[in-house]
Amino acid sequence: MTRTLVILATVTLAACTQVTDAPDGTSTTKTDECLNAIASQSPANGDTDVYYRTNVFFTLAMPDPAATITIADTAGNVVPGSTGVVDTILTWSGDALESETTYNATLSYECGDAIVSWTTSATGSPTDVDVTNTVYDLDILSGVWREPNEQFGALIMPFIADAQLLLMPTSVSAEIDILGAIGNGIDQESCLPTIPFPTATYEDPFFFLTAPNLPLQVADIIVEIDDLELSGAFAPDGSRIQGAQLRGVIDTADLGPAFSAGADPDAVCELAGAIGVECETCANGNETCIRVWIDDIDAEAAPNVPELVERTQADIDTDPACGATTAP
């Protein structure tokens, strides 16, 4: 299975070397200040807790369509993969890495070669504990917004600061069943339905699931992320899910009040347009959808949170604690 590595560094100017061959066979070398530079990188140089399926990007100050990224271990063994270039962002995609292994990521671009070294964490080795009925707190705020961009993430993050998504594996074998719930900071919110995710594929320790939608609380509004993809891997000791990724499509039509932008269904799209994000057509025909990809989310095991209890809308409608006036 392939996955994507993304490398992001400080802006520096490097020396570019130009070699010119003369008719007599001699070469002259001229060194000029290179105007391009690495703008950002991730994982960080020297990091020792890198996810074995991490996304690694190099972002340049200026486009360089010919730039390439190579990933190799310290013995020089190159990991099969390829480089994608979109404007100033370079992305390497290839095979999964080994756990607890040091790798060198080499960016070859117009200013020369830049090398970043980091070490993967223990995640990637098979789990040695049973994670069934362990509750994990998916910290969306810890993630990086890859799509539509980090500026959009910065725009929406303050409004989901109190959002809490809890995940609990209920059955683990060749596949994995996961129950989800919205949390209230202490345990699950019992007056909201739990989320019975479809059975996920599982290659110990990695899981991948798809679902029609996922409810997410933004301010006081429940927003559904459609066409959901959720993945991650359990640490060997079950203490966390590392490298979780969440992808899907959000219809922003009802989000205007959350952003103090009024009830106009186009309000959020207008805000997004100011930072270069264009809304797209939703499945219902609205022109108010935004595709999101939140990467590198961490989810720590939450030992103080009780096991999740499945709750349906019918349960809530007949529960006096949730405002029901008649008992079942």
| Interval 32-89: pLDDT, tens | 689 999 998 888 899 999 999 987 889 999 999 999 999 999 999 999 998 989 889 8
Pick the CATH number of 2-18+27-119 from 1.20.1730.10, 3.40.50.720, 1.10.10.10, 2.60.40.3780: 2.60.40.3780
pLDDT at 17: 45
pLDDT at 97: 94
Q: Please say whether the beta carbons of 279 and 270 come within 8 A.
A: no
Q: Is the peptide bond before 198 cis (omega within 30 degrees of 0)?
A: no
Domain locations in the chain?
2-18+27-119, 136-314
Among 53, 3, 4, 71, smallest CA distance to 205 is for 53
The two three-digit tokens of residue 229, written as one number: 């993809």
The model's pTM is 0.82
Residue type, 174: A
pLDDT at 217: 64
Q: Could you state, in chain order, the average pLDDT of each consecutive group of 10 residues for the chain (328 residues)?
A: 41 43 40 83 90 88 94 95 89 90 95 95 96 94 85 78 85 95 88 91 96 73 85 97 94 81 85 89 89 91 93 92 70
Q: Which residue has the tokens 């099969």?
A: 80
- Helix or strand or coil: residue 9? coil
pLDDT at 222: 73
pLDDT at 162: 65
**Cα torsion through 223, 217, 206, 238, rounded to 10:** -170
Q: Please say whether the beta carbons of 246 and 225 come within 8 A.
A: yes
pLDDT at 121: 96
pLDDT at 54: 84
